[in-house]
Structure 1
């Protein structure tokens, strides 16, 4: 009876005061990243800066009040707060500690995160921040009773008065500093993605709207005229391996002049290294579909890319078999309805633990699968690479070159030097993986072989207090969008295609981007189509006529047949 009385005698709080109190809490506790960003972007100092900052805080508090006034009523206010408080604490943690902006692209990444990635992000630092910032207000919300208004009319009047008062106060504050504040926000539009909880709420709605309006049915055709040029009589079929790297930035790539040699194995092989490559996006969800699309960053349209065929579909139409092997979070629609194999659910293999596989597992069985294949093949290997923040999980002891290295997924527990060491060690592991892929291709006697490696995006490692990746493209630093790219061509494919490697090296210092991949692969694989842009074909610039090459007559067609690779690629894996 005493316990029941204790529960019944809980304090009562009116909806208006609870909304105001929670809004102030959101501003003070969950918007530190926004405050730091505004202070850093402001050109003012002293009193002038304080006035602009105070106005900005009044403005975002007003946004919180209006949001809760719209959503929170007697029976909905508590449930909404019980969800919104921990969600806001989580968003604030990643914005505060890693400089994450929760725009639609980042929220889509969150939606697509699998359990393995999510598990790595659940660190003790995250748990501590969640406990400290969300537990007290959650306990208060659970404990208090929301006062029942005497009538619906009285409640509506109070709510209208709250909204009007909020608009008046907020508008008055903004108008008092309008020129400075409007200029600040206009020049730093991405700052709105740091205003919590409005950032993830609005971005989530935007993502759901985009996904809902996405058309169902077959993909729009791209390059319907695609066809293979006949190979010269007696020549071998082509085998191209495209390695899609993960989170490797150009700044730490040994071949590109980094102070450390993070690519010792590639340095011993005859590769062409491109030193100025710009990614399509700052995260995988954007970059991977974009780099395999005919539209690219030049004509970027997410919806158009999503509903159109990719480079792999064009290759298949022309008669080139494709296979996507994945050690990441999928092909992002690039290989829709095509051959796909995933290692994300670790198989029983020495290179796999119960959590993840080393990238080298994607080479396992691949050489046997492509042996004696009479047709052209393109294989995509999608790496786990340098996926953070648990960089130390991406390499074994044999690649632990730079120490001390960060041995935690909670980067807050490590010095910046330790974080960079772990990140660089992961690149060393990728270097070894690429070298093994090249050696496997060089040993292939049944194909003329080639490899293209390009990272999907880069990574911030503490520069400007930013970590990880995914900043809006307009403000993403070079560390997140400048990536390495390497090409290796066998002597056979150089000779058969008439490609001058010295010409490739001479042009490797020019500025290129992910946009070059689509057209360069079509050029290398000798796929003719009107959509192929020779201005973006890196290999076409360095082709030279080969008078000794005998070509088939018009009546001859490309070799065909069935083999082990045809059987393997014919089996689709979901």
Structure 2
């Protein structure tokens, strides 16, 4: 008797669960679209409404009106979007993709204050599997299950009502018209406040989900689709001038850094000495350097272009040859060695080596390689190429969020460290400690590179290091990078740059090192790289602008 009584609660629970599974509500596509639009607006736009609140737009007598207008406007626009893409045949497959993706977008925007503009979408799409995997963590499961999986399962439980074709078309047109009417009415109800908000804080539109990533995805597709256009040649008649034929050949190594910010660079006066080996070497250190972008996909093409941030045009930069092509036209051998996700188009048609999947037992694991792997075999590659050479080494550097994977155990000096890619599970001190250790690894790599160059007795050698962009480490709730440039904090746009020259290179080029150290305190930017390298390598071409050459004042006239 007791066993029968004890089973009754279990049996009752089973019965209720079966009843729950048997529930299959019936509704039209339009009603389902409405529920999903409300879900997106209320549960997936926390980052947007938090950002608007930060502008104080919800304060004062009109604050409630602004909030209500935004909710109605975003909800109506979501409804409009869904009405345009959903029908009886597409509703389940489309929402099966759209709901989980929107849930993840909402999670990362709230977690890291990520703005999903076209540049950020391009970074995400061009990131390899290993880097993407670092963003996946147990911490994202609650958001994925509650905002992604559960609503998707509910969509599949719905039985869709059928309508005659004529009536279905009329109802859909009515839903579209009503969505437009509500969106327009909501905007007009608070037009003055909303127009001021969007005019003064344009970047917040990249937080409206799912419209932000859908629009950005279309823009990226259009941009990438145009990538197959041939690049406009530049410097086709470039040539080296003023070189003594009997002089030693020159070797310039350009190290493109990753995610190192100026604020944590020991040579810039950071409280911690994160560049102890460079301090002992004493290179030329530029203390006021700004990047062209806040993400690799922008900064790398920009810094190797003749246009830079001053004349920034994404399409023009993407479809014009780079500094490296000009050097190649001038007869200077060019080699790009990469420990990341490629050269972003700037080495197109030139020698390229990837170490992304290298298998060196000392420098590599299954998760990737330390940057030192790019020095392996470099002497042999240089020996195969006579004459002047430029070699680019593209670092993995301090790429986040898994900073702890960017340095060997011997450089784990600042502790305790954040050992996960889910930065929300770490204290800010742990995050900064891991990041600073990764900067130590860059210091170690640059010191190794300089020692390697100093050993090349058959060549005059030099090195230029320049980080592509910086990083946010929790300041004002921001993490990682990629914030739209107009509002990007200094932590994402101020970067380190150092230079080193062998005595033979400096003497042959008549370069005054003391003069350069004085000039290194003046403001500079990645716009200077194109013209400075051409000037340093004595390349004559119409694209060269002497005013942007950082070496010009410190080179004695011929």
String of CA shifts for 1:432-474, please: whole Å, max 9, x gaps: 1101111111122111110000000111111121111111111
In the other structure, the counterpart of 2:100 is 86
In the other structure, the counterpart of 2:320 is 308
Deviation at 1:407, TM superposition (A): 0.5
Please list every run of 5 or more consecutive structure 1 residues that lacks an aligned counterpart in the other structure: 547-574
**Within 5 Å, which residues of 2 pair with 1:385-400?**
385-400=397-412
8 A Cα contact 2:52 2:58, kept in partner: no
In the other structure, the counterpart of 2:215 is 202
8 A Cα contact 1:373 1:446, kept in partner: no
In the alignment, the residues of structure 1 paired with residue 428 and residue 60 of structure 2 have an alpha-carbon distance, to the nearest angstrom, of 31
In the alignment, the residues of structure 2 paired with residue 422 and residue 325 of structure 1 have an alpha-carbon distance, to the nearest angstrom, of 26
8 A Cα contact 2:467 2:497, kept in partner: yes
**Within 5 Å, which residues of 2 pair with 1:353-392?**
353-371=365-383, 374-392=386-404
String of CA shifts for 1:149-175, please: whole Å, max 9, x gaps: 2x1222222222222333333333322
Other structure's SS at 2:398 match: coil
Aligned to 1:158, which of 171, 176, 189?
171
Other structure's SS at 1:309 match: coil
Other structure's SS at 1:75 match: coil
**Within 5 Å, which residues of 2 pair with 1:88-167?**
88-149=102-163, 151-167=164-180
Aligned to 2:50, which of 36, 45, 53?
36
The 3 A distance-change label for structure 1 pair 376 and 475 is: same
Aligned to 1:51, which of 60, 65, 86?
65
Other structure's SS at 2:162 match: coil
Identify which range, 227-236 or 256-265, moves more after superposition: 227-236
The 3 A distance-change label for structure 1 pair 179 and 5 is: closer
String of CA shifts for 1:51-87, please: whole Å, max 9, x gaps: 2122111111111011011111111112211110011
8 A Cα contact 1:371 1:444, kept in partner: no
**Within 5 Å, which residues of 2 pair with 1:135-534?**
135-149=149-163, 151-217=164-230, 219-232=231-244, 234-371=246-383, 374-534=386-546
Other structure's SS at 1:405 match: coil
The 3 A distance-change label for structure 1 pair 44 and 79 is: closer
The 3 A distance-change label for structure 1 pair 530 and 439 is: same
Other structure's SS at 1:268 match: helix
- The answer as to 2:30 corresponding to 1:12 is no
In the other structure, the counterpart of 2:7 is none
Deviation at 1:257, TM superposition (A): 1.4
8 A Cα contact 2:48 2:207, kept in partner: yes
Deviation at 1:6, TM superposition (A): 10
The 3 A distance-change label for structure 1 pair 268 and 84 is: same
Please list every run of 5 or more consecutive structure 2 residues that lacks an aligned counterpart in the other structure: 1-14
Give the ranges of 4+ consecutive aligned residues of structure 1 lying more than 3 Å apart after TM superposition.
2-9, 371-374
8 A Cα contact 2:73 2:186, kept in partner: yes
Deviation at 1:233, TM superposition (A): 5.3
The 3 A distance-change label for structure 1 pair 9 and 399 is: closer
Identify which range, 308-317 or 366-375, moves more after superposition: 366-375
In the other structure, the counterpart of 1:569 is none
Deviation at 1:207, TM superposition (A): 1.3
Identify which range, 41-50 or 118-127, moves more after superposition: 41-50
Deviation at 1:367, TM superposition (A): 2.6
8 A Cα contact 2:57 2:66, kept in partner: no
In the alignment, the residues of structure 2 paired with residue 182 and residue 306 of structure 1 have an alpha-carbon distance, to the nearest angstrom, of 33
Count of aligned residue pairs for this structure pair: 543
8 A Cα contact 1:277 1:482, kept in partner: yes
String of CA shifts for 1:71-117, please: whole Å, max 9, x gaps: 11111112211110011011111111111111111111122111111
Deviation at 1:5, TM superposition (A): 12
| TM value normalised by structure 1 | 0.91
In the alignment, the residues of structure 1 paired with residue 352 and residue 67 of structure 2 have an alpha-carbon distance, to the nearest angstrom, of 52
8 A Cα contact 1:220 1:308, kept in partner: yes
In the alignment, the residues of structure 2 paired with residue 374 and residue 80 of structure 1 have an alpha-carbon distance, to the nearest angstrom, of 57
The 3 A distance-change label for structure 1 pair 491 and 15 is: same
Other structure's SS at 1:213 match: helix
8 A Cα contact 1:214 1:303, kept in partner: no
8 A Cα contact 1:326 1:382, kept in partner: yes
In the alignment, the residues of structure 1 paired with residue 180 and residue 484 of structure 2 have an alpha-carbon distance, to the nearest angstrom, of 30
In the alignment, the residues of structure 2 paired with residue 165 and residue 55 of structure 1 have an alpha-carbon distance, to the nearest angstrom, of 15
8 A Cα contact 1:39 1:53, kept in partner: no
The 3 A distance-change label for structure 1 pair 216 and 170 is: closer
Other structure's SS at 2:369 match: coil
The 3 A distance-change label for structure 1 pair 112 and 51 is: same
In the alignment, the residues of structure 1 paired with residue 447 and residue 114 of structure 2 have an alpha-carbon distance, to the nearest angstrom, of 34
8 A Cα contact 2:261 2:491, kept in partner: yes
Other structure's SS at 2:465 match: strand
| TM value normalised by structure 2 | 0.94
In the alignment, the residues of structure 2 paired with residue 268 and residue 213 of structure 1 have an alpha-carbon distance, to the nearest angstrom, of 48
Deviation at 1:215, TM superposition (A): 4.8
